[in-house]
């Protein structure tokens, strides 16, 4: 009985996790190397519009501190194709570079432990 309860509880827990993941789309934390690469790329490619370490008033460019951390598709689309004041970058930034910048942005600029 105890085993059955555990199984049910475990199944419910897993289901809960998978629902939560489906709802938020949150991705696993990036590796420290990927985060560092993203922070460096952000500083050199993005910070003059989006501010050092993503701190900017948000009146000219998007305040990336407010970018939803489950917004991978939206992020990639904006970076690759441009949106409003954002220029398109797909012909110059490689996929792995955008991936690294996304790793930096979706962690809110906080390095993974």
Positions touching another protein (CB under 8 A) are 43-45, 47-49, 51-53, 55-61, 63, 82, 85, 87-89, 91-92
CB of 92: closest distance to another protein in angstroms? 5
Residue 38 has a CB neighbour count (10 Å cut-off) of: 24
Q: Which is nearer to another protein, 19 or 111 (CB)?
A: 111
CB of 87: closest distance to another protein in angstroms? 5
Total residue length of the chain: 113
Q: Which is nearer to another protein, 25 or 58 (CB)?
A: 58
CA distance 77 to 101: 13
Cα distances (angstroms) measured from residue 93 to each of 22, 31, 40, 105, 111: 29, 20, 13, 16, 22
CB of 32: closest distance to another protein in angstroms? 18
């Amino acid at each position: 009985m105890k085993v059955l309860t555990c199984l049910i509880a475990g199944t419910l827990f897993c289901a809960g996790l998978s629902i939560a993941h489906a709802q938020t789309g949150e991705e696993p934390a990036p590796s420290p190397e990927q985060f560092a690469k993203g922070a460096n790329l952000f500083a050199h490619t993005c910070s003059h519009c989006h501010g050092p370490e993503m701190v900017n008033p948000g009146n000219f460019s998007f305040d990336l501190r407010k970018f939803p951390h489950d917004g991978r598709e939206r992020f990639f689309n904006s970076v690759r194709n441009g949106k409003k004041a954002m220029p398109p970058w797909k012909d110059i930034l490689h996929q792995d570079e955008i991936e690294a910048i996304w790793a930096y942005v979706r962690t809110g600029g906080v390095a993974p432990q």
